[in-house]
A and B are shown apart, each in its own frame.
Chain A
């Protein structure tokens, strides 16, 4: 384990410059329209300094936070997922050639991204998405091309939201793996750890001092407090057998009465991977574009086959989402599909709470 160093806030811009020198485009969080959004940034001044975030079931609001912090919030609706698994992207096109059709594969244009501000839950979700898109029989070349140049600068969570429950799922609030650099913020800067040779190589150029033991203790304290401040929790055991034996539990009907089947939860969930393939023929009929876009098991087209819906009722769709996430995910990926980020709770227009629904189903 390399020795932790200390990166004062005043040197953060140097880190940005080192990344830029290495050819990375930097993506990080910004405060936008009452939420935290990830986008390209060049200057540390663009980070959400002095911003706090209050989240609860169906609610999310930016507020004033500690002036000298830029990571005093938990998360926004999206972070890593759309950067690797594009919300919509073309896969191929077909056109008329001289002797018949011609198929052109469309490969994405990619840049090396350095993403700063990913949370430990985002890293766990990234690991799951890697497993899904890259480790099967047919690795996805689009995801793979974007993943290749990725540099991960994680920021441990010192300010979880009321919706967060990563401590109970074991995914946070401190990052253990899957990062190149991990930061823990205090009032003056960050305790920095590296998790890869790339991360070390970049930090080596910043001439940082080793972190003092007091600085490391503060960081550890902050993370311990972050964990103990979490009020929501999900039973951490493998819920597969118990949920699959409760497919007729009356609580499914109860949730279905509230659920609008809008699909917000699947869109913001960092582990959901479903997508639909769509075809758009040009008006002149000369060519046709085949694309894919995010889809949701709450939507009409997900379970459509031969003119029929496999899951016509909202109850069946909510059950698909929850049993996939918390039960059958274990068979597919060797762990639960929930990393405790709380996004689906904050972004649900009617405030449906996965931790409460799971608890009710276990009763």
Chain B
């Protein structure tokens, strides 16, 4: 029986500071055979291990067709991510994965893709944006709805401005609070659903962010006529093993690490609307 627990070592080959507390690492497994065999789908995650500190689940943010390396965009949120933030090019970390179910990108082909995110730098869906833009002809409209607390929390601001210029792409951003120059909406991403331009009979939505926002966004999308089965959400829990063993990622009957983290909305609607589970 293969021991599923130990991580593989990977080296940081590039590092980009995205904002005060968000950074992106480009990583490559030390062992070339592991790197070349490594395959993932956007929406899946790795357990990222900082030696001496522990592991955290982080979603993959790079393009799955890039085979020589992979990216993690990480927000400093606790002890382990704080330690990873201090690492530089050439340093090693441990990686095991990929785990879980990714976004349903094949079934989104030929449809409008509506991305809704709230909170800070939602890496799971940024990977989807890159994925769609790189394979633009396979998809119809791309609608990006992004909500942040404060305008200065918007990372990749230049990217959003660039994406807004792309054909058949609509970018709508909202902040609850703003600085003086803020060309976008003031409010929540839910307000933006009204302005989104999509064909509800032929669209797929992918949402990530705080659970309350997910529920509100799904509700306004269904009010615009999008069937619940076409809404997919990425959830977070205290994942400690990624293997379906430790039990920490449970939400009702689901193990987020193996049944998710991406779910079709009807699978988790009751649990999310209920809250506190």
Contacts and interface: CB of A to CB of B under 8 A. Distances in A.
Sorted nearest first, the 4 A-B pairs with minimum C-beta distance are: A274-B247, A331-B253, A328-B253, A281-B52
Contacts of A104: 6
B247 A305 contact: no
Interface string A280-322: 0100010010101001010001111111001100001001100
Contacts, number: 125
A275 interface: yes
Interface stretch (B129-137, B173-181, B188-196, B236-244): B236-244
Given A307-B77, A316-B276, A273 B6 contact: no
Contact of A276 (B4, B246, B270): B246
A276 B248 contact: yes
B78 interface: yes
B243 A136 contact: yes
Contacts of A41: none
A307 B78 contact: yes
Contacts of B94: 94, 101, 103
- The A contact surface, by secondary structure, is mixed
Interface of B: 1-9, 11, 30, 49, 51-55, 77-78, 92, 94, 236-238, 240-241, 243-248, 250, 252-253, 255, 258, 270, 274, 276-277
Contacts of A278: 54
B47 to A, nearest CB: 9
Contacts of B52: 94, 279, 281, 285, 288
Contacts of B51: 94, 101, 288
Contacts of A290: 5, 49, 54-55
A277 B252 contact: no
A139 interface: yes
A305 B236 contact: yes
A92 interface: yes
A279 B45 CA distance: 21
Interface of A: 91-92, 94, 100-101, 103-105, 107, 132-133, 136-142, 144-145, 244, 247, 273-279, 281, 285, 288, 290, 292, 295, 297, 301-307, 310-311, 316, 319-320, 323-324, 328, 331-332
B237 A100 contact: no
Contact of B246 (A105, A137, A139, A277): A277
Contact of B1 (A141, A295, A305): A141
A305 B4 CA distance: 24
Contact of A275 (B8, B244, B245, B250): B245
